[in-house]
């Protein structure tokens, strides 16, 4: 795709640290982010910069192929490339939306805790707004269902919401050498070292932090 947009795409990460990525690197990152999201039982931090940059890249590609002749092979190849990128982004965002809906009460609570602790949120602004409106719509529906209730209906259902099972097993690949991953909390000798490039299957809860810190990726 270099002939279309040969300039590097500027990525803002952590706002202070600027990073240059070629379009090919950007696509790789986005693809990894997307697969991690599909494989992880819980929602992961939203990768704003990849999504925005790739969408922008798609736009500039689309503008460029407008100028090409209808029947040219180059145009066909570029169009297919654009479709692939759009598919990855759409699938990534759909996956997140499904998790947000399924675990909405849990996710919003976690998000509140993060704000209290001054941590970065996991949801994008749009997702957060969607989550809140989705939650309200369910609560309103329940209210109308329970309108016959004498007095205030109890809200036991809030105590046992749908939550992800963090003990699910996942396949993962180590991106660098990681030492001392604890496998069994009750036995501190039960640890494993991950060599760069090694592939293992482990309980998600044991590697969630490694995943969020970009030390491993899911398969």
Partner 1 sequence: MIKLKIVLEHSYYPNYFAIEDIIATQEKAPCKFLVNIPKLGKLNAASEEDDLKAGTSLELPVWLVQQLASGRQPLVTIDLPKSYKPAYREILKADATAVDLHKFGLYFYELGCHIAQFDNQGDVREILVHTFTTRFKQLMDLADNIGLDPSAIDKLDMLERKLFKDGNLARNLLNNWLNNSIIPMGAATMVVNHRKRKRINVE
Partner 2 sequence: MLGEKAYSLVKELEDRQCEILPYNTDLVTEIATEIVHLYDQNHQDVRLEDSRTPGTSTNLMPTVRMRHAAIQRNQRCLLAYHYNRLRLLRQMRWEFGSILPTELKENLSAAENGWFNKYSTILGKYMRSIGENGGLNLAVDLKPPKALFIEVRCLVDYGKLELNDGTNVLLKKNSQHFLPRSECEELIRRGILQHIAN
Residue ranges binding partner 2 (CB under 8 A):
51-52, 55-56, 59, 70, 76, 79-80, 83-84, 86-87, 89-91, 93-94, 97, 101, 125-127, 129-130, 133-134, 137-138, 141-142, 144-146, 148-150, 153-154, 156-157
Report 81-100 residues binding partner 1 (CB under 8 A).
94-95, 98-99
The secondary structure of 52-80 as a DSSP string is HHHHHHHHHHHHHHHTS-TT-HHHHHHHH
Of the pair 72, 213, the CB lying nearest partner 2 is at 72
Closest CA to 37 of 27, 24, 23, 47: 47
Of the pair 150, 180, the CB lying nearest partner 2 is at 150
How, if at all, do strands 216-218 and 169-174 pair? antiparallel
Of the pair 75, 175, the CB lying nearest partner 2 is at 75
**149 vs 153: CA distance, rounded Å:** 6
Say whether residue 7 binds partner 1 (CB under 8 A).
no
Q: How far is the CB of 136 from partner 1 (least distance, A)?
A: 17
Which of partner 1, partner 2, none interacts with 79 (beta carbon under 5 to 8 A by kind)?
Answer: partner 2
**219 vs 178: CA distance, rounded Å:** 17
Q: Are 117 and 109 within 8 A, CB to CB?
A: no
Q: How far is the CB of 98 from partner 2 (least distance, A)?
A: 9
* Terminal Cα-to-Cα distance of the chain (whole angstroms): 26
Q: Are 203 and 167 within 8 A, CB to CB?
A: yes
Judged by the rule CB under 8 A, the positions of this chain that interact with partner 1 are 38-39, 41-42, 94-95, 98-99, 102, 156-157, 159-166, 168
């Amino acid at each position: 795709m270099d002939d279309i947009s040969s300039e590097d795409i500027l990525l803002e990460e952590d706002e202070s640290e600027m990073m240059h990525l070629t379009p090919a690197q950007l696509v790789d990152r986005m693809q990894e982010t997307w697969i991690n999201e599909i494989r992880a039982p819980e929602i992961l931090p939203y990768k704003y910069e990849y999504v925005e940059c790739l969408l922008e890249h798609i736009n500039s590609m689309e503008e460029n192929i407008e100028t090409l002749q209808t029947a040219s092979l180059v145009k066909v190849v570029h169009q297919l490339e654009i479709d692939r990128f759009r598919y990855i982004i759409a699938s990534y965002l759909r996956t997140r939306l499904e998790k947000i809906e399924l675990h909405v009460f849990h996710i919003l609570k976690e998000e509140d805790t993060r704000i209290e602790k001054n941590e970065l949120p996991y949801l994008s602004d749009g997702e957060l707004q969607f989550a809140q409106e989705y939650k309200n719509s369910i609560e309103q529906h329940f209210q109308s269902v329970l309108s016959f209730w004498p007095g205030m209906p109890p809200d036991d259902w809030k105590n046992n919401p749908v939550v992800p099972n963090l003990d699910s097993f996942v396949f993962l690949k180590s991106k660098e050498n990681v030492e001392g991953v604890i496998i069994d909390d009750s036995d501190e000798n039960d640890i494993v070292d991950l060599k760069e490039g090694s592939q293992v299957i482990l309980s998600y809860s044991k590697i969630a932090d490694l995943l969020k810190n970009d030390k491993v990726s899911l398969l």
